Amino acid sequence: WPRVLLFGDSITEYSFQENGWGAYLADRLVRKCDVVNRGISGYNTRWAKLILPRLITASTSAESIVAITIFFGANDSALKDLNPKQHVPLEEYAANLKSMIQYLKSVDINEDRIILITPPPLQESAWEKACLAKGDKLNRCNATTGQYAQACVQVAKDCGTDVLDLWTLMQKNQDFSSYLSDGLHLSPKGSSFLAAQLWSRLENKVSALPSLLPYWRDVDHTNPEATLL
């Protein structure tokens, strides 16, 4: 069956939870394609670049992928001094995104099937509480996250892919704190916002997909093999 593949960090991994944005897409696309969750909590682009060829190979999976989202940056943008394990320098982050796009193109997934998603904004006071509860200091800041979002947008322009600038859209003319559950990860409202924004970019990529297998009323019950085989 055709597939939409969601590749990202914890914000993607959690997207199939109740009211999650991935679950929303799966519901919208049921019987048209599979929505496959390849979110890996805590990962950054440095690690994602290495595992992408294991997830998608030219021989087994590329042909069936009608769209792929690449959604990293929330971990890359962690402050180096306070979170060196996840931090990736800004220039390397951009280079890693380009590298992933180039790999996908090398297995015949063209740029018109790729959607980059920027990290969402960071609500610092809420995330600080989450950090303190784990015995850590505040290890991210929204201004830095914004620099990574801008880099992601620029990569999309340079490479000719779609992009969803979540960082900017969530802050447009509104308090964005309700979009986040802990200052970093999405709340149900944030998931709904992302799903709606993403659908507007995804719809044209999947609109031509037919419904898989006949509607039940159209099956010849006296000779189902004639309809179904």
Kindly name the residue from 10, 64, 187, 192 that is annotated as catalytic: 10
Kindly name the residue from 61, 182, 187, 192 that is annotated as catalytic: 182
Q: Which domain holds residue 211?
A: 3-227
Predicted pLDDT at 210 = 85
State which residues of the chain have pLDDT below 70. 60
Predicted pLDDT at 62 = 79
* CA separation for the pair 108, 100 (Å, rounded): 13
Predicted pLDDT at 174 = 79
Predicted pLDDT at 163 = 97
Q: Structural domain tally of the chain?
A: 1
Q: Give backbone dihedrals phi and psi of 3, rounded to 5 degrees, phi first.
A: -135, 145
Any catalytic annotation for residue 185? yes
Predicted pLDDT at 192 = 96
For residue 156, give the CATH number of its domain.
Answer: 3.40.50.1110
Predicted pLDDT at 173 = 72
Any catalytic annotation for residue 10? yes
Tell me the whole-structure pTM to 2 decimals: 0.94
Predicted pLDDT at 59 = 76
Q: Give backbone dihedrals phi and psi of 43, rounded to 5 degrees, phi first.
A: -80, 155
Q: Which of 66, 65, 83, 61 is nearest to 74 (CA)?
A: 83
Cβ atoms of residues 150 and 104 within 8 Å: no
